[in-house]
């Protein structure tokens, strides 16, 4: 399959995943790494286990390269560094619907994002993950209310369900593209305009 060269992308976006250990961040990334149809969702370009995945997709006629970054276990020791947040355009806050403490800790992850990105416009979503419909400790209504409080649209996903994962990615990208005019010029992901050929050296 021929890959689109970087210069042909209309947008290049960076999305990070935040949440406690074992809420499904790595599974979310791994599910995206298995996608290979850009016309019906997205196609994986690069995948680094416990690191990140780069996927390309088409949204509203625009070609997008999205880099989704996992914490790689750093969250276990609260050792995530400032470089993880640098240049971020979107953030997915993940919690497990089967583990109440991961839901309770979302607010602290929101505070951490605001601490590292105080002046940046970062689009956010709250995502409740589950591997089973049984023994869920967090109801959808409670999660929806939290999403409203932190100004983050709420969605639910079975991380192994590729259709649901891709849909969440698309929603996140659509948010970022819609807000791109508000993003600071230092972090905006739009590619530089094509330069006209000049005879002089500038």
Tens of pLDDT along 91-109? 999 999 999 999 999 999 9
**Nearest C-alpha neighbor of 152 from the set 108, 90, 85, 103:** 90
| Residue 70: half-sphere exposure toward Cβ, Cα within 13 Å | 24
CA distance 56 to 41: 9
Q: Are 88 and 120 in contact (CB under 8 A)?
A: yes
User: What pLDDT shows up at residue 39?
Assistant: 86
Tell me what percent of the residues of the chain surpass a pLDDT of 70: 82
> 153-192 burial, b for 16+ CB within 10 Å, e for fewer?
bbbbbbbeeeebbbebbbbbbebbbeebeebeeebbbeee
How does pLDDT run across 141-184, given as a tens digit for each residue?
999 999 999 999 999 998 789 999 999 999 999 999 998 876 54
One CATH from 3.40.50.300, 3.40.640.10, 3.20.20.70, 1.10.3720.10 for 7-182: 3.40.50.300
How does pLDDT run across 64-89, given as a tens digit for each residue?
999 999 987 777 667 688 889 999 99
């Amino acid at each position: 399959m021929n890959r689109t060269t970087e210069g042909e992308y209309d947008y290049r976006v960076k999305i990070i995943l935040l949440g406690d250990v074992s809420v499904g961040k790595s599974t979310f990334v791994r599910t995206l790494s298995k996608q290979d149809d850009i016309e019906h969702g997205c196609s994986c370009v690069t995948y680094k286990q416990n690191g990140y995945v780069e996927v390309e997709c088409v949204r509203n006629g625009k070609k997008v390269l999205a880099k989704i970054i996992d914490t790689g276990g750093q969250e276990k020791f609260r050792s995530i560094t400032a470089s993880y947040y640098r240049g971020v355009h979107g953030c997915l806050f993940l919690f497990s619907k089967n583990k109440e403490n991961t839901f309770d800790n979302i607010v602290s992850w929101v505070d951490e994002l605001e601490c590292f990105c105080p002046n940046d416009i970062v689009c956010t979503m709250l995502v409740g993950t589950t591997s089973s419909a049984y023994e869920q400790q967090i109801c959808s209504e409670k999660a929806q209310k939290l999403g409203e409080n932190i100004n983050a649209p709420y969605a639910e996903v079975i991380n192994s369900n590729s259709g649901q994962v891709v849909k969440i990615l698309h929603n996140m990208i659509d948010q970022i593209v819609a807000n791109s005019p508000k993003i600071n010029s230092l972090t905006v992901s739009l590619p530089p305009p094509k330069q006209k050929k000049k005879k002089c050296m500038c």
